[in-house]
Amino acid sequence: MKTRWWLLTLIFVFAAGWFSGRMSPSPSSSPEAGANRQEANTTARTMAPAPAPRESSSKRLAEKLDQADRAELSSVFREIPAKNRAAALDAWLAAPGNRVLDEAKMQRLQKMLDAWVAEDPDAALAWADAQSDAALRDLTTIGVAGALASKDPKRAFECLAAHGEFKTGSFDSRFSSMMSTLSQEALKEGPAALAELWKKLPDTAGGNGVRYGFHLDCPPGTDFRALHEAMQGLTGYNARKPVGLGGISEAWIKQDPDGATAYLTEKIAAKEKVSEAWQEMYYQQKNQVGAAAADQWVCAMLKDLPGDARGKFLMDSDFISSDGRALEFARNPEFAGWINDALPFAAQSGNWAIERILGPLPDEQKIEYLKTLRGTPALQAVDPAMNTWKFSESQRAEVLEAIKGK
């Protein structure tokens, strides 16, 4: 009996202690503890990494591209999932070190574009076309078209044509092979088809940039006169195309020297600018028959032309100013008057042109030729030329009085 009561007493005491513990606040559930727990959670959130922004993956990919060895860059770019490539390239271009692209950075960009175009040209073209910055759109369009040029020249050309005028002056060397392929195909249809192709190729507003060119292969039977007329303004140094085309005049003088000479003589007589066509023909003649015979060929064309037409050509072509010809002309009674033909056109260009023509001559001959000039442009050009030659006051007065007609 005593044992039973002892057990009951023990159970009661245990239950009372347990119940009391449940009802009284524990240190962990006190307001101070709650505050401590909240502070701990806040600290944990502050110390833990913030949720990654959306673009962080693109930035990481851009960093990976920037760090990749150039030889492995194409492979690294191809490893990027197709859906992320545009964003990765945007992030790469936006990186502080890539906002101004030097030659090395341009080469890296081209390698990435080459890798992209090889797998998904549509996506690469869409990305380039979507660039809002005009200069960047020029750059990326040239890069994508360059990557396409060898694989699909027609599509590369369409890419350039759709872009419109370029502001840059530097282009991809692969455009030469692209235009060579397309031009040879167009020439099979005739001069008009070739001209139409080149009219569609956008102009470039960029000056003194890097341009690449090629020589057109003109087969026997080519209508060179029609070809020359059709391509006026579309080729040559003054054409504003991203690619240069040559070889037409060179092929003409090789295949039909009489026809080429007659055409050139007509254009010179009409005072049209033909210096580029003449240069191709002249250097071909020079290589074929030698410098002396080539010079004779030019002089034969000019001999019976009006003096002003002859003088304009001599100045435009620089024929009289190069290789010491002015001195040779001055010594030869047959050609001495040709210097007088060229000098008025030289005066219009400035003192440098007069100095180039008359520079090799003795001062006495310089004075006699200068005295034949007339007009304000002549006065303005002659005065600094005489300073260059250190004429005496009496020599200067003699020349200026003659030009003024006194």
pLDDT in tens, 345-383: 999 999 999 999 999 999 999 999 999 999 999 999 999
Q: What is the dihedral of CA 214, 217, 222, 224, to 10 degrees?
A: 30
The 3-class secondary structure across 271-283, one letter per residue, is CCCCHHHHHHHHH
Closest CA to 125 of 85, 93, 72: 85
Tokens of 84: 């992320």
Q: Tens digit of pLDDT for each residue in 98-126?
A: 878 888 898 999 999 999 999 999 999 99
Q: Specify burial of residue 54 (Cβ count, 10 A radius: 0-12, 13-18, 19+).
A: exposed
According to DSSP H, which parts of 350-388 are helical?
Answer: 351-358, 363-370, 376-388
Which pLDDT band holds residue 79 (cuts at 50, 70, 90)?
very high
Contact present, 216 and 184 (Cβ < 8 Å): yes
Q: Tens digit of pLDDT for each residue in 216-270?
A: 999 999 999 999 999 988 887 678 888 989 999 999 999 999 999 999 999 999 9
Which pLDDT band holds residue 56 (cuts at 50, 70, 90)?
low
Give me the residue spans of the domains in the chain. Answer: 319-406
Tokens of 68: 């990749």
Across the range 33-47, mean pLDDT stands at 34
Rounded distance between C-alpha atoms, residue 66 and residue 191, angstroms = 48
User: Mean pLDDT over all residues of the chain?
Assistant: 85
Whole-Å CA distances, 124 to 113, 146, 148, 170: 7, 12, 10, 20
- Enumerate residues 6+ apart whose C-beta is below 8 A from 7: none
The residues facing 60 across adjacent strands are none
Quick one: CA dihedral 236, 241, 246, 249, positive or negative?
negative
Instruction: Specify the range with the lowest mean pLDDT, choosing from 26-30, 52-56, 326-330.
Output: 26-30
The residues facing 166 across adjacent strands are 204
Q: Tens digit of pLDDT for each residue in 294-305?
A: 999 999 999 999
Rounded distance between C-alpha atoms, residue 375 and residue 230, angstroms = 39
